[in-house]
């Protein structure tokens, strides 16, 4: 997820993965690719697929989480990222809504599930996979999520405000859902031109 931004800001120039194999649209399920992970952009079909639960946390998952943090922090407004956004269909998300606070530690959540949602809030949202597009999105003000941490321990995260929003946004990604799917008909139509342009740039 990308935090709201006033000025136009493009995605950082993350170099593409080095090997041709990693460049393909196949999912690197059990490889440990070298080099930075490329953030997949709107129009890439992997963003519409449902990610698979992680059965075992190995060095592959740990490397994936690390790489996702690198990709998220490399984007100036990045406060959350889901594995499908780097081309891996696994249920893993990373979030750091207070990334500018040196004391902040990122959340790395495996197989996150929403336990409960409460209240309502509307705020502007963006997505690292949909650059330069933002929209006001209605989300639950509070979200309680259960997940495993990187050590395989069950944890429970209670999020309010932006954390709640980021949790919902990233878990949506694991189900092939994008924030623009929450935009109502008319506003969606207004976004269509921008989205079409993004798809064009992808092909």
CA angle 183, 187, 190 (to 5 degrees): 125
Asked whether position 79 contacts Zn ion by CB under 5 A, the answer is no
In the bound complex, what is the minimum distance in angstroms from residue 9's beta carbon to Zn ion? 15
User: Which one of the spans 1-9, 26-34, 100-108, 159-167 is the region binding Zn ion (CB under 5 A)?
Assistant: 1-9
Name the burial class of residue 77, with classes exposed (0-12), middle (13-18) and buried (19+) by CB atoms within 10 angstroms of its CB: middle
Active site residue 59: no
Q: Kindly name the residue from 28, 61, 125, 170 that is annotated as catalytic.
A: 170
Which residue of this chain has its Cβ atom nearest to Zn ion in the complex? 127
Q: Choose between 110 and 133: whose C-beta lies nearer to Zn ion.
A: 133
Encoded one letter per residue, x for contact with Zn ion by CB under 5 A and - for no contact, window 116-135 reads -----------x--------
Task: Give the helix/strand (H/E) hosting 125.
Answer: strand 121-127
Q: Which two tokens stand for residue 164?
A: 């709640």
Q: Cα(130)–Cα(179) distance, rounded to whole angstroms? A: 9
Tell me which residues are annotated as active site: 170
Task: Give residues in contact with Zn ion (CB under 5 A).
Answer: 1, 127
């Amino acid at each position: 997820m990308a935090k709201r931004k006033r000025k136009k800001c493009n995605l950082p120039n993350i170099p593409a993965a080095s090997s041709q194999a990693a460049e393909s649209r196949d999912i690197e399920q059990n490889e440990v690719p070298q080099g930075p992970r490329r953030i997949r952009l709107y129009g890439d079909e992997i963003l519409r697929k449902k990610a698979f639960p992680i059965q075992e946390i190995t060095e592959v998952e740990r490397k994936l989480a690390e790489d996702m943090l690198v990709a998220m922090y490399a984007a100036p407004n990045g406060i959350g990222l889901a594995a499908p956004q780097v081309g891996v269909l696994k249920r893993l998300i990373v979030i750091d809504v207070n990334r500018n606070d040196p004391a902040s530690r990122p959340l790395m959540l495996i197989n996150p599930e929403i336990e409960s949602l409460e209240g309502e809030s509307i705020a502007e949202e963006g997505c690292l996979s949909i650059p330069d597009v933002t929209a006001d999105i209605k989300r639950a003000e509070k979200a309680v999520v259960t997940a495993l941490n990187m050590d395989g321990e069950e944890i429970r995260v209670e999020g309010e405000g932006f954390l709640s929003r980021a949790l919902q946004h990233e878990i949506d990604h694991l189900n092939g859902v994008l924030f623009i799917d929450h935009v109502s008909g008319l506003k969606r139509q207004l976004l269509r031109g921008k989205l079409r342009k993004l798809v064009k740039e992808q092909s």
